[in-house]
Amino acid sequence: MRIVLVGPPGAGKGTQAAYLAKNLAIPHISTGDLFRANISQGTELGLRAKGYMDAGQLVPDEVTIGMARDRMNQPDAENGFLLDGFPRNVAQAEALDEALQADGVKLDAVLDLEVPEDEVVKRIAGRRICRNDSSHVFHVTYSRPKQDGVCDVCGGELYQRDDDSEDTVRKRLEVYHTQTEPIIDYYKAQGLVVTISALGKVAEVTGRAMDALERSS
């Protein structure tokens, strides 16, 4: 399956993507994670992306689209993928359509995670991520690690993302409404959008997402 996951910052895209990708046996491709990996490795791409990310703005399309395409061209993504955080504006959605068309394949579904803004703010404020692996995501209240500041999975140090400060979150939400939400209408016109509520326990949301994807295929 080829799936796009969309939803506001903090909706739980990364959390859900980890389970969905495993259930569906497809790679989880997160442009945010790819940028953060480049930043921690000190690459030129990472240096370019960091200023935009810290300001809560989108990294320019010419950087993002090339990086996403390179990742989608890896052998493990040949038969499907779960895109998280890409596309993030209509220009990126059009570029993705062009790339898929050139490969003679299509998207199967766009899964839209709906969460009220006050919940999103709470989820982001308490989020802690593992330095060793960004798919190890915790929350100081909702999914507490056994030991404060330590990853349950690998023992790595948990940290708070630089762009999770209150001001930057406000900017990211604004960017989501103005630049990313329009892709939902873009994909509605293609009949691809399935919307689910992302409220409730993580496993409940995964169940809802799996049911919705099954119904849509």
Catalytic residue list: 13, 88, 127, 161, 172
| Residue 21 is a binding residue for ligand AP5 (CB under 6 A) | no
Name the site residues for Zn ion (rule: CB under 5 A).
130, 132-133, 136, 151, 153-154, 156
| Residue 38 is a binding residue for ligand AP5 (CB under 6 A) | no
- For residue 202, say whether it is annotated as part of any ligand binding site: no
Q: Which of 86, 136, 158, 213 binds ligand AP5 (CB under 6 A)?
A: 86
Residue 156, contacted partner among Zn ion, ligand AP5, none, CB below 5-8 A by kind: Zn ion
Is the Cβ–Cβ distance between 26 and 1 less than 8 Å?
yes
Q: Which is nearer to Zn ion, 101 or 147 (CB)?
A: 147
Chain residues 107-166 in contact with ligand AP5, contact rule CB under 6 A: 123-124, 126-127, 137-139, 142-143, 163
Q: Which of 29, 45, 58, 193 binds ligand AP5 (CB under 6 A)?
A: 58
Calculated CA dihedral for residues 216, 83, 9, 131, nearest 10 degrees: 140
Angle between helices 61-72 and 44-54 in degrees, nearest 10: 120
d(CA 72, CA 189): 24
Minimum separation from the CB atom of position 150 to Zn ion (A): 9
3-class SS of residue 213: helix
- For residue 137, say whether it is annotated as part of any ligand binding site: yes
Residue 123, contacted partner among ligand AP5, Zn ion, none, CB below 5-8 A by kind: ligand AP5
Buried b (16+ CB within 10 A) or exposed e, 38-61: bbeeeeebbeebbebbeebbbbee
Cis peptide before 87 (omega within 30 of 0): yes
d(CA 148, CA 133): 17
Phi/psi of residue 75, nearest 5 degrees: -55, -35
Give me the residues that bind ligand AP5 (CB under 6 A), please: 7, 9-15, 31-32, 35, 52-53, 56-59, 64, 85-86, 88, 92, 123-124, 126-127, 137-139, 142-143, 163, 172, 200-202, 205
